[in-house]
Amino acid sequence: MMKREEGEQPPEERHVLRIRNLHCANCALEMQEELAEIDGVTSAQVDFLNQKVTLSCTTEAAYKACIRLITHFDRVEIVEGAPPRAERHTAEIVSLCAAAVFFLPALILQLVGGSSEWLIFGLYFASFAAAGWQVVLSFFKNVFSAFREGFRLSLLLDENTLMLIAAVGAFALGETMEGAAVMLLYQLGELLQALAVGSSRDAIGKLLEMKSESCILLKGDSQREVSPEELTAGDEILLRRGDKVPADCRLLSGSQFDTKSLTGEAYLRDCAAGEEVLAGFVNEGNAVQAEVLRPASESAVAKILDMVENAASQKAAPEKFITRFARVYTPVVVLLALCIAVIPPLFDGFDFAGWIMTALNLLVISCPCALVISVPLTYFSGVGSLARIGVLAKGAVYLDALARVKVAAFDKTGTLTKGKFSVARTHGQERALAIAAALERKSSHPLARAFDGIPSAFLAENCTEIAGMGLAAEVGSKQVLVGSERLMRERGISITPLKTPASVVYVAEEGEPIGSIEIEDAVREDAAAALSALKREGVRRTVMLTGDTPDRAEAVVKDLPVDEVYAGLLPMQKPERAAALKAEGALLYVGDGINDTPVMTVSDVAVSMGKLGSDAAIEASDLVLVSDSLSALPKALRTAKKTRRIVFENIAFSIAVKAAFMILSLLHLMPLWLAVFADVGVMLLAVLNSLRMRAKIR
C-alpha cells in the first residue's frame, strides 16, 4: 500500500444524494453552509429545486458526518434514486384543516362576544397546536443540532424559530387570535410554496419523458427488448410507430419523426435513410430499422438532462447577491428586532408589550423567502424553457450574459451553412480526386466529409494536418499536398486559382499541381430569418468570421443580413478579431468545429451546434443548439431577457414591499396576523411571477 507524501491532499470522492422534504430555499442555504464547514468536505452544493446534494469529501468520516447532518436537518430525508415527481403533502393539509376547524369557531365566538375567555383561548391554542406541531418539532430538533457538535447560530435563526417566537410572543401578550393566525397563515404559505415549487419541478421533470425506457435490439433474425443503457455503437434496433428513439442513431430506411421534445417544433420531420435522428425523437411513421451511433449516455437527451440538472451550480450574479444578502440579512434583522423590543420602551413609558409586538412583526416580515426562492426558481425555469426549445444552457450565469448580447459573430462552415459538403466539379488529372479522397479520410475537418463514399485505390501514410489550410502525406513514395490556395502558395507551388464561389481543394504531387476539386455547401434555410430576428431582439451587429476566401465568404452572405465579413482568418486570428468586437458590446459567438474553441473562450457567450459540432466545441461552449437550428437563437435571447426581467422584478418588488411593511410596523400600524399574511403574500406573488417563465417562448 502506497503512503501519501507529507502535505499531499487526500483524494476527493464525489457523492450525489437525492433528498426530499426540503421546501425552504433559505434552509437549503443554511444546510449548504453547515456542510461546507465539516472537516474533510472540500465542496458542498445543495440544489433546492432539484432536491439534490452534491458533496466532495476527502474522508469517509466527513461523508458520514454529512449524512448525519442532512438527516437531522429539519424534516429532510435521503432517498434512493430519483426523488418522487409529486408529493401529496397529506400531513400538512390535514394539519391545516384541523387548525381551521378550531380557529374559525374561536374567531366567531370572539367577534360575537359573551363566551368564556378560556374556551376561546383553548380553541385558539388547539388551532396553534394543530398548525404548528411540525414547527415546534423542527425547532427543538434544530436546538439539539445547534449544540450537538459545537454551537451553530444559523440553525437557531431559521424561519421555524422566527415564526415560533412570533406566535408564542403573541400568546404571552394576550393576543391569542394573532398567535394562532401567525402559525395558521405561515403553514398555509409553506404549503402553497411547496406546491408552487413542486409544480415547477414537475415541469422540468417532464424532460425525463424524453428518455426511452426500453427498445428492440436486432441480432440476426432474432429481436429482444433491452434497456437503452445496454446499447453500443453499431447495434441495430427496431423503431416501431410511437417508439421513442433510445439513442442517437442513423436510419436504415426513411420515416417521419416528432421532434418537439428536443427542438420545440410542432411539425413532423421527414428523415431519409442515412440521416441521423436524436434520442428523444418519436417515430410517427412506419416501423424502421436504425444503427446506433453512440451510447445512450452520450445522446442528446442525456446531455439535456445532465445540463439542466447541473445548471444550478453555475449561479448568476443576482443569485450570488441573494445568497450573500440572506446570510447577513437575517441575523441583522433579529438583532434589530431585539433592540426594538428593549430600547424604545425605555423612552415610551415602559410600554414593552407594544414594542415587543412591533419587534415580532419585524421578525415575521423579515423572512427572506420571497427572494431566496423566487430568484433561483426563475433561473431554473429559464434553463428549462431553453431546453424545451432545443437549447442547452450550462448554467444560469449564461442566461444573464446572453441577455446582454449586442454583437453576434458566426462561423461559416457548419454554422451559417449546412456543413454537408459535396464534390461539385473536378479539374485536371482524373486521379487527383482519388488521391484527395485518400488524404481527406484522415481529416476531422467538415470539408473532408465531401469525399466520403468516393472510392480510392491510394493509401495515404504519415498524414499531418496543417491547421486551417490542408493536409500533407505520402502516397506511394511521393509527397502529396491537399488543401487551400494559401497552402499551395506557402509551399511555393504555382497554381491558377479558380474563379468560383465554391470551396476549392487543390492537389499537388511532388511540388507540382495535378488537379483541383470544387466543393459546395448550401446556406441553412433558417439562417436569414434567425439573423433578422436577432436584430429585432436588440443585437446591433452581426458578423461572420471565417478562414475561407473573401469571394466564397461573400457568396455565402449575399442573401443574409450580415453587417460585416472577416474572411481568410487563421484559427489564431479569430480570437483577436473577437476581442476587438467585444469592445462594441457583449459578444455572442456561434461555431461548430475544433478550430472554433479558441474564439469561444474569448466570447461572452459561446454557442455550439450540438448535432454537427465537435466534442471540443460543445465542451468549450456555454449554450448548445441540440438540433443545429439557428432559429432557436432568437428564442433563446428572448428567454434570457425575460428571465433577467422577472428576476429584477422580484428583487425590487420584494424589497420594496418588505421595507414598506417594516415602516408600518414601526409606526404600530401593522397587526401581527397581517404581517404574516403580507409576508406569505409577497412570497407567493414572487413565486407566481417566476412561474411565468414556463409560458411558451415564441
| Active site residues per annotation | 411
- Closest by CA to 136, choosing from 106, 107, 171, 108, is 171
Euclidean distance between CA atoms 187 and 168, whole angstroms: 15
Say which amino acid occupies 2: M
Q: Which residues contact 667 (CB under 8 A, 6 or more apart)?
A: none
Euclidean distance between CA atoms 435 and 457, whole angstroms: 8
3-state secondary structure of 559: coil
Euclidean distance between CA atoms 646 and 695, whole angstroms: 13
Listing DSSP states for 657-682 in one string gives HHHHHHHHHHTT---HHHHHHHHHHH
All cell numbers assigned to 424: 461539385
All cell numbers assigned to 595: 478550430
Euclidean distance between CA atoms 625 and 523, whole angstroms: 17
User: Within 10 Å of residue 288's Cβ, how many Cβ atoms?
Assistant: 23
Dihedral (CA of 313, 316, 318, 321) sign: positive
Instruction: Give buried/exposed letters for 482-493 (b at 16+ CB in 10 A, else e).
Output: bbbbbbbeebeb
What's phi and psi for 669, nearest 5 deg?
A: -110, 10
Cell 415610551: give the residue.
348
Whether 466 and 482 have beta carbons less than 8 Å apart is answered as no
Whether 551 and 469 have beta carbons less than 8 Å apart is answered as no
List beta partners, residue 503. 519
Whether 45 and 21 have beta carbons less than 8 Å apart is answered as no
All cell numbers assigned to 115: 363566551
CA distances to 51, 87, 456, 557 from 84, rounded to whole Å, are: 10, 7, 57, 51
Terminal Cα distance for the chain, rounded? 61
Euclidean distance between CA atoms 681 and 365, whole angstroms: 11
All cell numbers assigned to 486: 494559401
Whether 535 and 542 have beta carbons less than 8 Å apart is answered as yes
Listing DSSP states for 230-271 in one string gives G--TT-EEEE-TTPBP-S-EEESS-EEEE-HHHH---SEEEE
